[in-house]
Amino acid sequence: MSENEPSVGISRRTVTKAMAWAMPAVAVAATVPFAAASVCNDYNPENPCPISLAGVGCKLPGNSQSLYKGYAFRLTVSNPTGSPITINITSATLDGANLGGVEVVNLADGSIKTNPFTVPAHTTYVAALLTVNAPNSSNGALSITYTVNGGAPQVANATVPSAPPIQGSSCTAFNSTEKAYIAAA
């Protein structure tokens, strides 16, 4: 081929340059976990948040239960992945006031999950988030901050319009069986 003849196709130099530029991008993309690029979203069934709050709850009785000045809030715990995940709830606040320590009660079987807790693969269950030592008995904005497998903090928020006492019929957030599980915690 002479210099005056037009070349046909792509030169070896062009292919080599393209490979040199593409290789680092492929190497970087391969090291980033799939879920790291997307924030959980309760409206996205492909990547739901592990904790979603129902916005309902009840006050626990003062000194008549081990959870002094506590609350029980309804939530859903989900793990759509193929591996177990560990959730660590790092804070729970109501209108900015710290609600103290927490534990989770699976409302299907009454099992108690201390914090942090593991959620098996492909599992979703309704639970009660139990808190202790609330500074007052108020309603308002509930905020839960948590991590999954030690990752970046995630936040679940809900407005709790009322939190009636768990005893009696005014607390409709939980049925009688669920209330018994909560009382046993």
Q: Residue 115's pLDDT is what?
A: 92
Overall number of domains in the chain: 1
Query: What pLDDT, on a 0 to 100 scale, did the predictor assign at position 70?
Result: 85
Band the pLDDT of 38: cuts 50, 70, 90: very low
Indicate whether 1 belongs to any domain: no
163-185: pLDDT as tens digits:
898 888 999 999 999 999 998 88
| CATH code of 74's domain | 2.60.40
Per-residue pLDDT at 35 = 38
pLDDT band per the 50, 70, 90 thresholds, residue 26: very low
Give the pTM. 0.72
Mean pLDDT over 69-90 rounds to: 91
For the stretch 51-69, pLDDT in tens is 889 889 998 876 655 656 7
Q: pLDDT confidence of 135, banded at 50, 70, 90?
A: confident
Residue 31 within a domain? no
Residue 122 confidence (pLDDT): 93
Token look-up 């989770």 returns: 104
* Cα 112 versus chain centre, distance: 17
Could you tell me the residue range of the domain that residue 88 belongs to? 51-184
What percent of the chain shows pLDDT beyond 70? 70
Residue 138 inside a domain? The answer is: yes
Average confidence (pLDDT) over 25-54: 54
Q: 16 lies in a domain? A: no
In-domain check, residue 28: no
Q: Does residue 128 lie in a domain region?
A: yes
In a domain, 21, yes or no: no
